[in-house]
Chains A and B, each alone.
Chain A
């Protein structure tokens, strides 16, 4: 075992910061359980993806420089999102292709940056969690996490150790939900069609809970499920793994239902 616990910087992401702070606290809890010292560096905002994916390279580089400078001092950077994790891990270096100095810094940071669940399993060797969740869940593989970072088995392995939870695989779990950052508002018709297909797959499993590791996708799928009047509970996988589902109602559900249901 390690003698000094690794110092891990949690980069919460702007969506978690703004929408779902509980995911950040769930991440802290899980990281501590795995034996890490967790720091939340002050002054973090966003990883810069919206600018990067919109072709605004200059702004994306500016933001990346400050994120790199902010996170460099730690042993690891952990991000509760595959797409923001992938941005720092894989894309920052590409942003600085023409700037050797920053490229090197980006690569060094990228090599120490991980998405939360894959970090717990692959780096910290976590094999199980002490959590309970009553329900049948289905897990959506978010695109960046799956294809950029190879996250597939890790969340399923940990979910298998959650007491009371059964996992039902949906068909096409690897197909995009149609979120795509600004895509979902630039091409709403196509996006809604994609998320509607996803909703059908989710419903076909009979699961009462939908889990994923990316808040963007979760907001998208929750928004569509709820627009169609379906009662599937939507949560970030970290909330379930950390046993923190009592702390907050499912995404898009108010205190009203929470109170009434319990």
Chain B
């Protein structure tokens, strides 16, 4: 997928002025937060499960070579095939090759962030194969030819009117005058149209929420059931998964599942959690004849052993973005690549380079809300700060900011100079602002005074006044 991350700032400004987007964001975000809070409050063990989830993932990553190898051998023992793909290119080639080998004309798809990372739809189309998104949120954005704006709710940025408009425009086989006002009507229409596509597809592509080393299973979690239709009906099932999705056992998976739905949608458990293990068995009446797993690296192995290793614990629940005030203000598209919000601000620079994604780890107040809700206890702000350090070391941060910071640090290290400068500064500003108590504009402070007044200082610095009063014996 192409990135507009370098233009984050402009993207954000545009997003803030987009009334439709702002309406959708305002409607959606409170619901996610309240539902999660309720689900978490109802499970006294939630905090203990977070610790366990973190420990399970840490253990797995510390032995990732063992667990991936075991997982792959189990898939093969069940008659499936694992495609080890080092790059996005390798993965795209493998997918297209599998589709061609069965002469596929249409491919149904369950929601997959790896699919987005690969831009797999464009590549399938280029190969003459039609991809059909079946998650309703993915379906609408495919119709609108835009990327998802959220990792579990791809159409987070849309309002009902947008759905109605897209359905009228694209479902030309249906009566143009039909009534489409209700959510229910829209869903029924999509269900009917997609049902025929499910039955006709040659290949089904899904993502994977987890891979189980113990059994060689891939796990998908959905509420719609589209993933199950996708992987059950066609001749071939392709699983797109990245290497950090593996966990050791079914029991470990259950611990993580107890965290996942609660953190994501505030459900106790998602409607469908499905474990797939190899292709159709001889006496079975249904299921795909071929089962392939695309096991993608695409930059992840190079996070191991660095300060970003902990990011590999991420289970893509979206709690961090659901609770992020920056995401809530600008939405997902502003981030400019596949993964928005706090998890994207850490992951995107790892995957596409901090030179392109440098804004993302900077566009945070470090309010810490994301870390406080992350079921995997990933220290997201700490890792954003590590990116800032790398940018600073590589001189990627803007030079005016570096200069300002340098001047300030020079004073902060020299108490005598600091005292002198602050006395003069506070005195001057305090005197100038003593009547009104604030400034509407100040030289060099446009970033602040564009939207805020600048309160004036009292005048004398604390340290000066303290020294004076002490001398007078008053403190």
Contact = CB atoms under 8 A, between A and B. Distances in A.
B452 A143 contact: no
A84 to B, nearest CB: 12
Max count, chain A CB within 10 A of own CB: residue among B440, B448, B451, B466: B451
Contacts of B70: none
Contacts of A121: none
Interface stretch (B139-147, B243-251, B405-413): B405-413
Contacts of B455: 19, 219, 222-223, 226, 251-252
Given A19-B458, A254-B436, A194 B364 contact: no
Max count, chain A CB within 10 A of own CB: residue among B366, B425, B453: B366
B389 A55 contact: yes
B183 interface: no
Interface stretch (B51-59, B290-298, B325-333): B325-333
B465 interface: yes
Interface in A219-262: 219-220, 222-224, 226-227, 248-249, 251-257
Nearest to A176: B367
A227 B372 contact: no
Task: Name the prevailing secondary structure of the B interface residues.
Answer: helix
Interface string A113-156: 00000000000000000000000000000011001100000000
A194 B435 contact: no
Given A44-B415, A190-B330, A226 B453 contact: yes
Interface stretch (B76-84, B96-104, B190-198, B390-398): B390-398
Contacts of A102: none
Interface stretch (B8-16, B162-170, B221-229): B8-16
A213 interface: no
Contact of B369 (A143, A181, A251): A143
A133 to B, nearest CB: 19
B365 A59 contact: no
A189 to B, nearest CB: 5
Task: Name the prevailing secondary structure of the A interface residues.
Answer: helix
B397 A55 contact: yes
Max count, chain B CB within 10 A of own CB: residue among A19, A57, A249: A19
B385 A53 contact: yes
B436 A256 contact: yes
B368 A148 contact: yes
Contacts of B126: none
Interface in A1-60: 12, 14, 16-25, 28, 40, 42-46, 48, 50-57, 59
B6 interface: no
A73 interface: no
B137 interface: no
Contact of A45 (B411, B433, B437, B465): B411
A168 to B, nearest CB: 20
B447 A186 contact: yes
B448 A176 contact: no
Contact of B326 (A44, A179, A190, A256): A190
A28 B475 contact: yes
A192 interface: yes
Contact of B453 (A19, A148, A188, A252): A252
B426 interface: yes
Contact of A176 (B369, B436, B438): B369
B388 interface: yes
Contact of A25 (B13, B382, B467, B475): B475
Interface in B324-346: 325-326, 329-330
B458 A22 contact: yes
B451 A227 contact: yes
Interface string B16-33: 100000000000000000
B413 to A, nearest CB: 6
Contact of B385 (A55, A147, A174): A55
A227 B452 contact: yes
A155 B180 CA distance: 53
Interface of B: 9, 12-13, 16, 325-326, 329-330, 362-369, 371-372, 382, 385, 387-393, 397, 401, 405-406, 408-409, 411-413, 415, 418, 422, 425-426, 433-438, 440, 445, 447-458, 460-463, 465-467, 475
9 contacts: A20-B457, A42-B467, A55-B390, A59-B405, A143-B367, A180-B364, A180-B365, A190-B329, A191-B451
Nearest first, the 6 A-B pairs at minimum CB distance are A180-B365, A223-B452, A185-B447, A55-B388, A192-B451, A254-B437
